[in-house]
Structure 1
Amino acid sequence: MLVQRSVRKQELAVHIWHIPTSGLESNISSPEYSLPQFDKRVENVLFHPTTEFILSIAYYDTIKIWDILHQKEISCCQGATDQLQSTTWRGDGSMLASSGKDRVVRLHDPRAPHKAALECNGHQSAKDSRIVWLGDTDSILSTGYSSSRIREMSLRDVRAFDKPVKTQQFDASTGILMPLYDADTRMLFLAGKADVSIMYWEVTNKEPYLTEGLKHTGALHGAYHHVPGAAQEFHSDLFPDTRSATSAQTIEAWVTGGNAALAPLSLDPGKRHAPTLEASALIK
């Protein structure tokens, strides 16, 4: 049975919930498990991208890595000198990146914690920022504000971390741009609070690095695209493989240095099957 989990962020607490594959048949009033209360407000909570039951929790200037199956802390990443604003996992789960109010972008090795592995100056305003690792690549993208309060995004290569390979500025709107990245199509979606449009950007590993595509404004009431060719044929070029939802390795394997990739999952309806999870692996 596939188990979906949600994490509720409420000030100083993090709660773990089970949602059955079949959906909710009644209201759930009590969490399955609650982590020990933190001494500062929880800012960001993320599941590990490839390993079941590992959770990263950012609160103020600290990131804790938590094993929710055995209900214990794995490690603690520090180094920030002010409030963390955003965190992100590398696609293979080997590294974390963070941005914060101290205007510094950091890379963290969650299995060799305490001090950041690398750090560099980020966006020049402390107003707000967001960061996203672009899948399994060596690139991270952050959004924030310049010293003159102009919204901008910066693309960095972690192998040459000090200087962005590309910075794109936008406008003086007050809503932070939220970056959402689709690793299958290498498309970046940007939208901000109170914005009336969603921007689409293609990300590549060579000049010009960031290419603006469509910009959608207003409500979308369905869309239709006609694909030339046989109507019954599955077009793998339009619907590339994605990543499966089945855990790639155990917690113990990850803690001891494993970096297993998720198996590819075909979107062809004729090849898909529902993922399973052993009942013994569920949180009791």
Structure 2
Amino acid sequence: MSRRVVRQSKFRHIFGQPVKADQMYEDIRVSKVTWDSSFCAVNPKFLAIIVESSGGGAFMVLPLAKTGRVDKNHPMVSGHTAPVLDIDWCPHNDNVIASASDDTTVMVWQIPDYTPVRSITEPIVTLEGHSKRVGIITWHPSARNILLSAGSDNAIIIWNVGTGEALISLDELHTDLIYNICWNYDGSLITTTCKDKKVRVIDPRKNEIVAEKSGAHEGARPIKSIFLSDGKIFTTGFSKMSERQLALWDPEKCTPHEGMRPMRAIFTRDGNIFTTGFTRMSQRELGLWDPSNFDEPIALQEMDTSNGVLLPFYDPDSSIVYLCGKGDSSIRYFEITDEAPYVHYLNTFSSKEPQRGMGFMPKRGLDVSKCEIARFYKLHERKCEPIVMTVPRKSDLFQDDLYPDTPGLEPAIEAEEWFSGQNADPLLVSLRDGYVPAKNREFKVTKKNILDNKPPTGPRRSFSSCDSGFSRITLEDLMEEIKSLRAIVESQDKRISNLENQLHALSNGTA
């Protein structure tokens, strides 16, 4: 009688468990916008959720420890004039978050450690450059102050948030709506998916496509792609029959001919490669190859026929990918290895209620004393439910194999260094003694002063808003500030007048 061989893995018994009711976040009006983003972002200090709001767009920021029922008057972060579509915490400052909106702008906010009394309405910096709504934002994993945004204008802009400038604009590489973008481990490349069903690998500093795959998933629904730490690409999508799929790709792997006999290859004039070789059946064959195109996937699995887009979350420390479908009530997780079939199903966490969105805690925010390997923040219609993923271990000691050093708060390089061509992996920290969140660090934006520009030489010209150094927006901002200062002065004048009248009455003994 044959015995089934079970694959050995320390993550084979991971199990998910929701927290108790008093540790959830209740009475939250989660956004009803139909956009395929997670609507939730979390770090070791704060939980941010995009919410319904009147008169514009807003999101709510809660201290992680503030569980239970949320006050209906809890202050919001509300500066956008249209719905917020995406939010992302800065990986190098736990008090800084970026938001993207239907109003075509990206805003960066400083969140205080204390709970403010009033809503936060003034961002640190507003980034304007897109002509249509902005639905994707993501921070660079290792360079300070680098933020990427993508809009419905099919353009990608990479910003230096520290100066408020657009460093790079990629506006001709996509012909249709961009579905998602992900940096690779050191931030030298990005992978994108698009409505044209292509998965692209792009070098943003060279403004060129390094590799491209057409029809990675042939269905009409959106494709998502993420970079793994070894350079492979994991995608989720749909088949022609609307079955949900996952796939693993290696952009550098190509096997033109599968036979054992020698192959020959030459470059053609247009940069393609012409090859001769043999099939597995020893038949001679020839081929013409585009070296920038992916080969077939090294793994492809069909899952189910649900129409919810699968949101992939990746943990590079454990090589585990978690798949959370919008509208699903489950989280599936898979381990990625170098052994066939490469994508190994581990387990599924199921609950009764579907998820509107999902937040994924960075590794430094987990409780290592309880062997917590991941934590999700599941959005319901009116609440947020933390879900803890744990590896069962009997020992109370620190588990080195579960917690290798993980990316910390310190950036590896500066924005200028990255822009000049340097790359660096994220700087790692140990979780042996647990992670203590850093105190609030003020984020400063140093914009170039237009008054420092020397006036043009030559004949004097008449002053106009076009040939002065001032932009229209800057003048409007100055006028608005002057108006607000005048209002303050007038109110103080009235206060002084009232105090003088009281003093006069007291001195005359008539009070």
Structure 2 length normalisation: TM-score?
0.51
2:161 to 68, 72, 84: 68
Which SS does the other structure have where 1:252 is aligned? helix
- Counterparts of 2:349 and 2:343, CA distance in 1: 18
Which SS does the other structure have where 1:6 is aligned? strand
Please list, as runs of the form range in 1=range in 2, the aligned pairs for 1:80-91 lying within 5 A after superposition. 80-91=174-185
Change (3 A) 1:109 1:277: farther
Letter in 2 for 1:199: R
Which SS does the other structure have where 1:253 is aligned? helix
**Residue 129 (str. 1) matches residue 250 (str. 2):** no
- Counterparts of 1:84 and 1:235, CA distance in 2: 40
**Residue 252 (str. 1) matches residue 419 (str. 2):** no
- Counterparts of 2:127 and 2:425, CA distance in 1: 28
1:218 to 351, 357, 362: 351
Which SS does the other structure have where 1:246 is aligned? coil
Which SS does the other structure have where 1:260 is aligned? coil
Identity of counterpart residues, as a percentage? 29
Q: Is the 8 A contact 2:130 2:155 kept in 1?
A: no
Change (3 A) 1:277 1:250: farther
**Residue 13 (str. 1) matches residue 105 (str. 2):** yes
Unaligned runs of 5+ in 1: none
Which SS does the other structure have where 1:117 is aligned? strand
1:170 to 303, 314, 317: 303
Which SS does the other structure have where 2:409 is aligned? coil
Which residue number corresponds to residue 265 of structure 1? 429
- Counterparts of 1:165 and 1:224, CA distance in 2: 29
Alpha-carbon distance, 1:278 to partner: 7.6
Which SS does the other structure have where 1:73 is aligned? strand
Between the two proteins, the alignment pairs up a number of residues equal to 277
Q: Is the 8 A contact 1:100 1:126 kept in 2?
A: no
- Counterparts of 1:51 and 1:130, CA distance in 2: 24
Change (3 A) 1:276 1:159: farther
Letter in 1 for 2:427: A
Structure 1 length normalisation: TM-score?
0.89
Q: Is the 8 A contact 1:2 1:276 kept in 2?
A: no
Change (3 A) 1:276 1:111: farther
**Residue 282 (str. 1) matches residue 444 (str. 2):** yes
Which residue number corresponds to residue 145 of structure 2? 53
Change (3 A) 1:49 1:23: farther
Alpha-carbon distance, 1:235 to partner: 1.8
- Counterparts of 1:190 and 1:182, CA distance in 2: 12
Root-mean-square deviation (Å):
2.4
Change (3 A) 1:74 1:234: same
Which residue number corresponds to residue 131 of structure 2? 39
Please list, as runs of the form range in 1=range in 2, the aligned pairs for 1:109-148 lying within 5 A after superposition. 109-113=203-207, 115-121=208-214, 122-134=216-228, 136-148=229-241
Alpha-carbon distance, 1:222 to partner: 6.6
Q: Is the 8 A contact 1:102 1:126 kept in 2?
A: no
Unaligned runs of 5+ in 2: 1-91, 254-293, 353-385, 447-511
Larger RCO of the pair (alpha carbons < 8 Å, separation 6+): 2
Structure of greater Rg: 2
Change (3 A) 1:195 1:2: closer
- Counterparts of 2:163 and 2:436, CA distance in 1: 29
